[in-house]
Chains A and B, each alone.
Chain A
């Protein structure tokens, strides 16, 4: 079950990480753990110029909603917010924010880590990496999403 204030969004606009983190500060909580994922310039020796994200939007929102419901079942948390950006992103720009509020920090840290791991595995969003010598659609490492979700 989702809580009343959980939120999950896709946007082409820059994400205000602090706004997402502080949008709701539940009065039964003592900590919010927020992941600010952003575009990395150097992956070892390879230089990225920019990224382009694309999503199967209605399905991505459904999968995000499922993840939040599962997180509520597995962790003692009160609220989850997920915002993922789409379109062209420059180096250092925020691509995803996941914010988890909980009565105590430990559950929030654990849920946040679990949520980003699952998001990267199941939510239908793809990134194209553009670098000096060309471009490539990045393929996720984990290819078992459909097995565990069917």
Chain B
């Protein structure tokens, strides 16, 4: 199945893309999906190890939530608005 993955700010700059289509095996949960994404983009973990946040369909992720075909995932660093 395929999901859309969005990057913002520092993560978008680090990989040079703001949006990708990403293939996952069926029935993976959110933690597994994000682990697969980080494996494909090692620079994210190298640069932002502890500060990465993940969202699924515009909500902060729940770890064992099952990802569905067409879901919108996002990978970004600790937020800094205000």
Binding site for B on A (CB under 8 A): 37, 53-56, 58-60, 62, 84, 95-96, 116, 119-128, 137-143, 145-146, 149-150
Contact = CB atoms under 8 A, between A and B. Distances in A.
B81 A96 contact: yes
A141 B81 contact: no
B59 A124 contact: no
A84 B81 contact: yes
Interface stretch (B21-29, B35-43, B50-58): B50-58
A36 to B, nearest CB: 12
B80 A138 contact: yes
Nearest to B81: A125
Contacts of A124: 8, 53, 55, 74, 76, 79, 81
Nearest to A140: B78
A122 B6 CA distance: 17
Interface residues of B, number: 25
A143 B59 contact: no
B78 A137 contact: no
Given A124-B8, A126-B10, A137-B13, A150 B60 contact: yes
Nearest to A141: B78
A59 B9 contact: no
B79 A122 contact: yes
A144 to B, nearest CB: 9
Contact of B82 (A96, A145, A146): A96
Given A58-B58, A120-B82, A126-B79, 14 more contacts: A55-B8, A56-B74, A62-B58, A121-B79, A123-B79, A125-B81, A126-B76, A126-B80, A139-B80, A140-B51, A143-B50, A146-B53, A146-B55, A150-B63
B77 interface: yes
